[in-house]
Structure 1
Amino acid sequence: MDAYDEGSDARHGPSGPDPRRALPGPAPAPDDPEDAPRRRTGPPTLDDPADPPAAPDDPVDGPPAPVDGPPSGPRSGVAALSLRHRIGAAVALVSVAAGVCVHLGMTFLHVAPANTVSKEHSRTIEDWIYPEFEQNWKLFAPNPLQQNIAVQARAEIRTTDGGVRTTGWYDLSAQDGRAIDGNPLPSHTQQNELRRAWDFLIATHDDDNRPVGLRGTLSEAYLRRITVLRLDRADAVGPGGVVDRVQLRSRTTQVPPPEWSEEQVSTTPEYRTLPWWPVPEDEARGGLG
């Protein structure tokens, strides 16, 4: 037998920490406070570590330690399906969503006012809507304008020498447009005053430009005063001149369709010219008439 073979205990080693895993070193010094300065006079080095690492304990037989994490269990819902069935469910969901979007788009175009898209695809929209999804109501009233309307004005001026001269046409709508373009906070006067005054006049006059009732006369006075103020602001009167009469007209042009549309519209402007309106003396000189 070998000299180190000391029986059955020699094969497995003694119980407790393995002495071969411990690093060799000097024996621990007694716990004497007076000897502490003499035992460590400098920083620890690799050759003489101050605190050698402790040897790990031998594994102990027993059940494994629990692992943190969600408890394992049977999956439910879509996650429980196989990959093939999950792909099929995703395709079905996308198909349903696409069908809903198409139906909502077709219904919107059907109930919305006539526009370029609905005119271009009217046959397709009708085939989709009728007869199952027929709607008997409209989305907007009145229909949005598809025209550009510009209000223009000119005046007859009495000069200081007793003569009369007629100005050219001033585009009042273009003046508002120049004031609004590039302005992040345009005033309500620039946006709405002239437009609402013209709409008020058209709604209270017949096709022969004659006022209908008291509101028709009121609309003339309102638009006339706006015109006189605008012409004075544009220095159309000149020094010493007085506005004697004013005349207004509208210039209407259709909004051109997009390039991809086959719709044909006339781009020739149409004019509606009102008769001359006399301006009261005090209103011509800055009063309210």
Structure 2
Amino acid sequence: MPQIIGGGWNGHCRLRSQAEPIAPFGAHSFFTAYAERHAARRRRRPRQAHRPGRQRLGNLGLERRRSHLDQTTRRLRTRSKPTDVSSALKPDDAITTCSGPGIGIQLKTGPKADRLIIPFNSQDAKKNFFNWVAYSDDAGATWKRGEKVPQSETIQLNEVQVAESVGGGLYLNSRSWRKGASLRKVSWSQDAGETWSQAAEDAKLPDPICQGSLLRLDDRTIAFLNAAGPKRANGTLRLTHDDGRTWSSSRLTFPGPFAYSSMALLKDGRIGVLYEPASNTVVKFRAIDPTTR
């Protein structure tokens, strides 16, 4: 079965891992980006031995993935045939390419209003990770790649989300793959994802090397949710009113174990959160009020 690794627009739908998308929050049409696994020829024996009668264990890492898009309309009553967009999306120097994980967005303002954007992370042959976005200006019919986010060799941009900034730009928030990293990495785009500022660390955003979720709530507020570190625990919601340059509030929202998450804006103004409370085998849902301190 295909594995869904990102999708939805502006946080108005939520996704279920390795399954169909589930109930959209007021969205009438959205796309889903996912990767389909293809078995690769085994080239070496697994490192781990196996016991008689039990499944062989090992970390082969020899799978190939391709990127697909499909469109669902009329509140999930119809779904288009998946379209393979690998040739348009995969960077020439990438050996892996993954969207998100999280949501894509559609710009509401600026010269590129209505542009669809999906954030990606890739790895090159030298095992360096980097970020970029795919964008479409024709409702998803065709896609282009933006330039890589500039970074130093020590940053290693990895799992990533973006939010619309004032005037139709983008704010990018990423985890780092580098061992020992303890802060989130950020960048800004003034041309809707085509080019980016130099990636930098945000000293106000701790990161235990884990995914974080990002969501624009209104014309001036962006919400960011992640484990506050140093381990994957204590999911903390932060709000910014200047596109991620400063953070006006910080609230411990999910005490205890907390890992990956995805946020969506509910009709009543609350934030719907899908999150991993302990491991990636369990996903829970909770609605939170971003204005409650």
The TM-score with structure 2 as length reference comes to 0.19
Higher relative contact order (CA 8 A, sep 6+): 1
The TM-score with structure 1 as length reference comes to 0.19
More strand by share: 2
Structure with greater Cα Rg:
1
